[in-house]
Amino acid sequence: MVVVVKIGGSLFPDYVDDICEVLGESSEDVVLVSGGGRLANSLREFNSVKTFSDDVNHWSAIKCMDILGELIADRNEYVVAVNDIESISGVHECGKIPLLLVYDLMRSLDPLKHSWDVTSDSIACWLAHRINAKLLILTNVDGIYSGNISSNNKKLVKRISANKLLIFEETCVDKCLPKLLIKYNLSCFVVNGMYPGRVLDHLNGDNKLIKCTYIGGK
């Protein structure tokens, strides 16, 4: 089964090359989606100073995802940037990893709410539903924590339902993701991409010993 792997923008550029290397070692057919990283965070900062429309913020942030995606593909010979779902299988047949540049697809279908609650997490979730794939979210923390993630009292949550996640005030995933997991009857894992070995272990089916969070939407 195909796995949609969302590479969090917080992992760019320091960890992305190592992540792509281990993804190439996996036997799974992977489809990459890039976060918007510091580019998208700058848009949030601009919006806090000069308020812009939800539409402009939404589409500008998605453009940031595509910019980082093109940079990732440029540095990694086994990663091929594609603009549509139909091209994914052809890249897999060539033994390479497709990275979907999502702007054109999102613009034509416009499937998600225009809000800062919707980020690359939700877009990756939508894609996983669209192509009947599993979902793996890579970020710069070990997973979902109980309590404030910036506090000293935080505790890693190994398993949580999407319904319970809805009441969390602050997590490493966007606020719309649990709603979509419920809507699409999907589950996902959140893994720290700063440790590529964990990513490979997860894709190889070994989740018992690695630090991660399973979010059940089913």
Separation of alpha carbons 3 and 6, rounded Å:
10
**High-pLDDT (> 70) share of the chain, %:** 97
pLDDT at 151 over 70: no
pLDDT at 134 over 80: yes
Lowest mean pLDDT segment, chosen from 23-27, 45-49, 103-107, 118-122: 23-27
Name the token pair of 190: 């959140």
- Total of domains in the chain: 1
Separation of alpha carbons 185 and 196, rounded Å:
28
What are the two backbone dihedrals, phi and then psi, of residue 4, each rounded to the nearest 5 degrees? -80, 120
Handedness of CA 130, 217, 16, 1 (dihedral sign): negative
CATH value at residue 176: 3.40.1160.10
**Can you give the residue range of the structural domain that contains 127?**
3-216
Measured CA to CA in angstroms, residue 164 lies from 159, 185, 216 at distances of 10, 15, 10
pLDDT at 149 over 80: no
Residue of 2, 23, 32 lying closest to 198 (CA atoms): 23
pLDDT at 209: 72
